[in-house]
Amino acid sequence: MGIRLKDLSKIGYRDNVARSLVVDIVNKHCKHATKEQIEMTLSDILEHPESYKNNEIWNKLAERLSPTIIAKEFTAYDLLDEPLMYKTYGGKFIETLAKQQMNLAMRLPVTVAGALMPDAHAGYGLPIGGVLATDNVVIPYAVGVDIGCRMSLTVFDAGVDFLKRYSYQMKEALKDFTHFGMDGGLGLEQEHEVLDREEFRLTPLLRDLHGKAVRQLGSSGGGNHFVEFGEITLQENNVLNLPEGSYLALLSHSGSRGLGAAIAKHYSLLAREVCRLPREAQHFAWLDLDSEAGQEYWMSMNLAGDYARACHERIHLNLAKALGLKPLANVNNHHNFAWKEEIAQGRMAIVHRKGATPAQEGQPGLIPGSMATAGYLVCGKGVEDALNSASHGAGRAMSRQKAKDSFTQSALKKMLSQAGVTLIGGSVEEMPLAYKDIDRVMHTQETLVEVQGRFMPRIVRMNKE
């Protein structure tokens, strides 16, 4: 049973953070309660918050409503003298700067554990491929600018011969039903329930971003984001429960567009105002999840993640409908996000995965290579030292600028032709040789994931840089 904002206003809930807490709690814990029961409980909490401070479900709301809450000024923090120990996978193939960035993250006083994935390379703040567990705080910059950036794979009821017989139609569908770049979206009206979410009304920032979210729904960003058709070969007894064999599949990679970028910018700046760190660690400024700003960011981050998922759902639905394809299975996962998870010895922590795939035991995931190399459908093994994570791809072997300086468009076309890949858009910055060897990366994380299938791109759509 849900509850609407106007219902909360009638009861007396006018604080935005308290309202967001109510929405979250009701959605999670009150599915079988009547509206009257929920409203009675909420009225009682509003009048007697102290009585609910030890309640397992309502304690955070009670703390928020308590008159003893005091506004905090900024706090200055020192770093630990030495970084906490952490596990690195495929370390000899990871650049020194990425390791230095991870070492710095492991010196934060709120850090409790970490791991570095084999596709790791330098980023801003936490390296791409870094996994960081913290004690009840969230670091907006460790989640990243593209909140909820994710992979989504749909397997269709068609064999790989579909790629040859209908290649023209598939190329035209990709041109008509995908959009890349900073501006707008598809130019076609897109509908999804995420646009009606209450959270869009709970903060001034989210209210201002709603229009952009509507316009950009179902589109992708720039950089290494893509939508591609290809063939996937599934192994016997695979995690999708599909018969062994080869199928037509659609793989997409993108995130939360302008919505996520604006949320990241706003709360990263706010974190720096309340959490003062030494200059070299400023990007790691955090928000306490018991604070108003922390609750607002957490709510906004989750909304952005759901919006990213909605964009992929629209892309896959539009293309399937245009080509008359029936989906058999779908796998999707975030890789720029933070989760409340149980880590070593039952301890709860906030696990940030910046360019890392969740790999809990039995959890399906996707690890792509490049536009001319294989990607893999995997199943997590739940390795504690890796914080239940794996790589999110092959990882860059050289920067975008270095790739631009090193390769030509004709060399890219020749390589793709030899690999049997058609590219729509794209640039030399995404040259396959600019990425690490995906099979070597997979070899270094055999203890983290089990391969279930192998995907080969055939028709790739990217932004024209």
Binding residues for GMP: 224-228, 335-336, 368-371, 392-395
Q: From CA 424, how far away is CA 11, in angstroms rounded?
A: 54
Task: Give the H or E element holding residue 270.
Answer: helix 257-274
Hey, is 99 helix, strand or coil? helix
Q: From CA 371, how far away is CA 386, in angstroms rounded?
A: 27
**If you search the block for the tokens 């709360």, which residue do you land on?**
267
DSSP 283: G
Instruction: Burial-class residue 273 by CB neighbours within 10 Å (0-12, 13-18, 19+).
Output: exposed
Q: Looking at 266, 283, 392, 443, which residue is catalytic?
A: 392
DSSP 354: E
Hey, is 157 helix, strand or coil? coil
Instruction: Burial-class residue 336 by CB neighbours within 10 Å (0-12, 13-18, 19+).
Output: buried
Question: Would you say 64 and 46 are in contact if contact means Cβ atoms under 8 Å apart?
Answer: no
User: Which residues fall in the annotated binding site for Mn(2+)?
Assistant: 146, 225, 253, 335
Which tokens go with 268? Answer: 């990263």
* First and final C-alpha spacing in the chain: 47
Q: Taking CA 316 as the corner, what is the angle to CA 456 and CA 209, rounded to the nearest 5 degrees?
A: 120
Determine whether 392 is an active site residue: yes
Catalytic residues: 392
